[in-house]
Amino acid sequence: MEEPFHFTEKRPMERYATLLLEIWREVCRHIEIAESVERLAPLLARRVTADLVLVRRIDVPGGHVETVAMGHCRPGHADPRARSELTSEGVQRLLAWCHRRQVLRLAHRSRTAGPPGLLPEGLSGEILAGPLLAEEGPVGILLLTTSPPRHFRDEHSGLLTALLDPFTVALENDRRLRELTTLREAVEADNRSLLTKLGRLDISDSIVGAEAGLREVMEQVAQVAPSDAPVLILGETGSGKEVIARSVHTRSRRARGPFLRVNCGAIPPELVDSELFGHEVGSFTGAVGQRKGWFERADGGTLFLDEVGELTPAAQVRLLRVLQDGLIERVGGERSVPVDVRIVAATHRDLEAMVADGRFRQDLWYRIAVFPIRLPALRDRPSDIPALAAHFAMRSSKRLGMPPLAPTAADIGLLVTYPWPGNVRELAAVIERAAILGDGERLEIARALGAPRPPAPSPGPTTALPSRPDGEGDGFVSLEAAMARHIEAALVRARGRVEGRHGAAALLGINPHTLRSRMRKLGVDWKRLRREVGAAE
């Protein structure tokens, strides 16, 4: 090994003045270190007998040195291993060499003479090495290599000394870019979370039906939210699965963290890994920068995997590893990244059937279905329709800049009898369409549903409203009275039983808790009916 070349030594550099000027121009033109070094390598190849140019970043807290940029001055050279792990003692020895501000020239046979972490594994030939020092201290290492029979001369050591300043600037520019990218991604994630929350304040902060048709669901949410257990929400499309997922998040200890939604069915199969787990620079065509995936962005919060049944088998395997170990690996990366994320998954598919026929991994099913919540369809909780309709009518009025609108009793009658295949999402769309069709003066529910519009009644005494609340004075029963009578008839047929295989709830096709809530609301005297049924027997 030759004597170290110190920064303070004076060497004639006039012949390299044009080269240095071109290098400074390239450094100022490109702020990503990989792109800078790739463009600088051909410039150096014209004046220096070098094969490779490498820039290695020193990560003191992480205890490693990593090659972050490499340029081939000549083709045909294998890429060395990028990362070198160091002990705390090794880090201190490397930093001490950097502070001495030495340029080392290492012959092939004396490769071990330098400090730990200086050279990556797999690097061959003669090597020039110099430290990159920023204002806060050592940040990296610049390496030039050449293969026999070529070798470096003393003037090349002087050139490397002159190259340290522009390469330090290039490495610092890259660091600032990465920091800005990280901050931008965090801000974008926060903005998405806030915009999503603002866009759903109508049914997320105050869930319509929480005390009626969704009462049992909200009780389950209250039970599971304080824990970190994975939650699986099962329900038809449009039934409000994201609203329930957000409620789990806001009631958990992660409420101050991000809540991010990923529609697994909307991600192309070839991009699933990149979207969920991120990628490194150059990991595939078009990967011009490092990108954090959804798991890293949701760190410390909740990740809502909507339509999880759409994930490909390969993605299911990697998702299972995250749930088991709490580790992800970016595409093209060589290290595992720990993440602290709570998973709330949802699907409208029958996952148990998919497990049975091999389309969904059984081990992943056991991981995500720790606490399943089944969300009832809107047709199974018709008592929530009046409140939801009024809520969506008010929201539509605000969005369309109209006076406040409210559904009439006749509107509610039409809405309750409609089957709602699209659930709550369809109801919201129908109400908004009805507001538009009514020109801001009324809700045209019949037209919005596609039903023929009834003829306008002629004025006269026959058009007077019923004088009694239930409408029996005119021979027409109100909707609530009809519902009460129907429930009573079901209770009579069920011999006064509410639950069970032959209970009234099973006859009506609704949840027993929902039936009891509706009976209280409609004033159905269950005890009286039970006594009367018993006396008749």
List pLDDT tens digits, range 323-380. 888 888 887 777 778 888 999 999 998 888 899 988 899 999 999 999 999 999 998 8
| Range of the structural domain that residue 155 is part of | 5-177
Residues 384 and 492 in one domain: no
- Supply the CATH number for residue 76's domain: 3.30.450.40
Please, which contacts does 186-191 make with residues 24 or more away whose CB atoms are closer than 8 Å?
186/297, 189/258, 189/260, 189/297, 189/298, 190/258
| C-alpha dihedral, 361 to 362 to 363 to 365, nearest 10° | 90
Give me the number of domains the chain comprises.
4
Q: Which residues pair with 145 in a beta bridge?
A: 52, 127
Residue 369 exposure: Cα atoms within 13 Å on the Cβ side: 16
Residues 316 and 415 in one domain: no
Q: What share of the chain is helix, strand, coil (3-state, %, to 5)?
A: 50, 15, 35
Contacts of 375 (CB under 8 A, 6+ apart): 214, 217, 233, 234, 235, 236, 239, 240, 241, 244
- Supply the CATH number for residue 423's domain: 1.10.8.60
Report the candidate in 234, 288, 242, 233 with the shortest Cα–Cα distance to residue 261.
Answer: 242
CA dihedral for 93, 94, 99, 105, sign (positive or negative): positive
- pLDDT of res. 62: 81
Grade residue 214 by pLDDT with cuts at 50, 70 and 90. Answer: confident
Pick from 1-10, 33-42, 415-424, 525-534: least confident: 1-10
Residue 461 placed within a domain: no
Residue 366 placed within a domain: yes
| Tokens describing residue 341 | 């994320």
Residue 188 placed within a domain: no
b/e sequence 288-327, b meaning 16+ C-beta within 10 Å: eebbbbbbbbbbebbbbbbbbbbbeeebbebbbebbeeee
Residues 408 and 435 in one domain: yes
Pairing outcome for strands 302-306 and 327-328:
unpaired
Burial (CB count <10 Å: 0-12, 13-18, 19+), residue 122: exposed
Residues 255 and 154 in one domain: no
Q: Give the tens place of pLDDT for each residue, 452-474.
A: 444 444 444 433 334 444 444 44
| C-alpha dihedral, 329 to 370 to 261 to 257, nearest 10° | -80
Mean pLDDT value across the chain: 79
- Given 337, 361, 376, the domain boundary residue is 376
Q: Give the tens place of pLDDT for each residue, 50-89.
A: 888 888 889 888 888 888 888 877 665 555 657 788 888 8
| Tokens describing residue 48 | 């220096």
Grade residue 6 by pLDDT with cuts at 50, 70 and 90. Answer: very low
Is the confidence at residue 292, as pLDDT, over 60?
Answer: yes
Q: Where are the alpha helices (DSSP H) in 65-213?
A: 88-99, 154-199, 201-204
Burial (CB count <10 Å: 0-12, 13-18, 19+), residue 7: middle
Residues 225 and 310 in one domain: yes
Beta carbons within 10 angstroms of residue 410's beta carbon: 12
DSSP string, 293-343: -HHHHTTTSEEEEETGGG--HHHHHHHHHHHHHSEE--BT-SS-EE---EE
Residues 438 and 308 in one domain: no
Grade residue 12 by pLDDT with cuts at 50, 70 and 90. Answer: very low
Cis peptide before 149 (omega within 30 of 0): yes
- Given 376, 395, 423, the domain boundary residue is 376
| Tokens describing residue 328 | 């992800």
Residues 277 and 358 in one domain: yes
Residues 385 and 321 in one domain: no
CA dihedral for 348, 352, 353, 356, sign (positive or negative): positive
Q: What are the backbone angles phi and psi of residue 367, rounded to the nearest 5°?
A: -75, -45
Query: For residues 319 and 341, is the Cβ–Cβ distance under 8 A?
Result: no
Q: What is the value of pTM for the model shown?
A: 0.49
- pLDDT of res. 252: 92
- Supply the CATH number for residue 205's domain: 3.40.50.300
Residue 149 placed within a domain: yes
Residue 101 placed within a domain: yes
Report the candidate in 25, 66, 57 with the shortest Cα–Cα distance to residue 134.
Answer: 57
Residues 348 and 205 in one domain: yes
Grade residue 116 by pLDDT with cuts at 50, 70 and 90. Answer: confident
Residues 216 and 244 in one domain: yes
- Please give the residue that has the higher pLDDT: either 425 or 330: 425
- pLDDT of res. 474: 47
Q: Which residue type, as a one-letter code, is found at position 76?
A: G
Mean pLDDT, to the nearest integer, of 386-407?
Answer: 87
Contacts of 195 (CB under 8 A, 6+ apart): none
Residues 205 and 299 in one domain: yes
